């Protein structure tokens, strides 16, 4: 059965685009993670649609990823199919004050296009290390802005392989969430509605935010960005610091001294090291302040 499954999957995409036992450490910004049973790299929307439809029909577990910037995969891997959009779904187009980006396009690349076309509104996202698809699914945000403010619509591939368009309202954005987190769909592209602005002012704001990130975030270490969601009425990083956990470590993973809201891979950490730090921080903060932190990072696979 597994040989038939592999062969059929391979027939849906370009030759060599399906692999077995692909190490996920090569596809996450944490630089950890065991092998995915199957690793699929569709070349276009037709291939993506056919793969999605087949996996749902076959009842196979799967997950769509971009550049793995918000993902922690267990050391023993993922018992399912990883569909990677980062390599081939990265086209960006601009028409008037609207930018449309395929799901695998980096937010930094979209921000560059906004700058080159003197469009304002995307500055907050220029330094978020994610892709268009993942950002709309989790309503990524920073520095007072979030995707809900600028996304006009998202085109997604439903479980039967058909393309469906979700408007901003239909996406039902909330804090670090959208309806796409609970719907069985794969984002194909996202359209953003921005505003005309002055190029010098846009560039100045991007440079200002980049300086702030460099000064306050541990960008020199592998991580998934901010590890915990912001609990209502608090800041996760301050709670972690006040609980005495600055620099707390397990194996090669630790709470960043530079920003306590980041768990970093500072010395060849395993996924289990990172998971242990996340769990220990959660329990310690809850014990001190009766506030239970929730991971912002997506945790999958076997640890």
Query: Does 154 score more than 90 pLDDT?
Result: yes
Where do the structural domains in the chain lie, given as residue ranges? 2-84, 92-215, 218-300
Query: Which CATH entry fits the domain spanning 2-84: 3.40.50.150, 3.40.718.10, 2.60.40.10, 3.30.43.10?
Result: 3.30.43.10
Tokens of 8: 């059929």
Res 1: pLDDT: 54
Res 50: pLDDT: 98
Q: Quick one: pLDDT band at residue 129, thresholds 50, 70, 90?
A: very high
The percent of residues above 90 in pLDDT, for the chain, comes to: 98
Res 114: pLDDT: 98
Res 184: pLDDT: 62
Q: Which CATH class is domain 92-215?
A: alpha beta
Res 185: pLDDT: 77
Q: How far apart are CA 84 and CA 40, in angstroms?
A: 6
Please return the burial class of 172, using the count of CB atoms within 10 Å of its CB with bins 0-12, 13-18 and 19+: middle
* Mean pLDDT, residues 229-236 taken together: 95
Check 17, 178, 223, 226 and give the catalytic one: 226
211 as an active site residue: the answer is no
Question: What fold is seen in the domain 218-300?
Answer: 3.90.78
191 as an active site residue: the answer is no
Check 176, 230, 249, 270 and give the catalytic one: 176
DSSP line for 110-160: HHHHHHHTTEES-GGGTT---BHHHHHHHT-EETTEEGGGTEEEEEEE-TT
246 as an active site residue: the answer is no
């Amino acid at each position: 059965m597994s040989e038939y499954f592999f062969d059929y999957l391979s027939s849906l995409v370009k030759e060599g685009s399906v692999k077995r036992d692909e190490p996920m450490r090569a596809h996450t910004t944490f630089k950890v993670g065991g092998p995915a049973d199957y690793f699929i790299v569709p070349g276009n929307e037709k291939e993506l649609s056919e793969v999605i439809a087949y996996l749902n029909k076959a009842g196979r577990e799967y997950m769509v990823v971009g550049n793995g910037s918000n993902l922690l995969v267990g050391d023993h891997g993922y018992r399912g199919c990883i569909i990677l959009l980062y390599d081939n779904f990265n086209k960006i187009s601009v028409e008037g004050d609207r930018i449309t980006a395929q799901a695998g396009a980096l937010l930094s690349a979209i921000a560059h296009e906004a700058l080159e076309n003197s469009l304002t509104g995307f500055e907050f996202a220029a330094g978020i290390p994610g892709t268009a698809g993942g950002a709309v699914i989790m309503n990524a945000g920073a520095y007072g802005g979030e995707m809900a403010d600028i996304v006009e619509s998202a085109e997604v591939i439903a479980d039967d392989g058909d393309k469906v368009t979700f408007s901003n309202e239909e996406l039902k954005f909330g804090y670090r969430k959208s309806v796409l987190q609970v719907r069985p769909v794969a984002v194909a592209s996202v359209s953003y509605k921005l505003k005309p602005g002055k190029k010098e002012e846009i560039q100045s704001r991007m440079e200002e935010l980049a300086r702030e990130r460099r000064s306050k975030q541990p960008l020199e270490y592998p991580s998934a960005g901010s590890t915990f969601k912001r609990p209502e009425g608090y800041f996760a990083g301050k709670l972690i610091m006040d609980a005495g956990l600055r620099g707390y470590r397990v194996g090669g993973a630790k709470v960043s001294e530079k920003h306590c809201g980041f768990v970093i891979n500072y010395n060849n950490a395993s996924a289990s090291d990172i998971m242990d730090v996340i769990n220990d921080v959660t329990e310690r903060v809850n014990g001190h302040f009766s506030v239970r932190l929730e991971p912002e990072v997506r945790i999958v696979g076997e640890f």
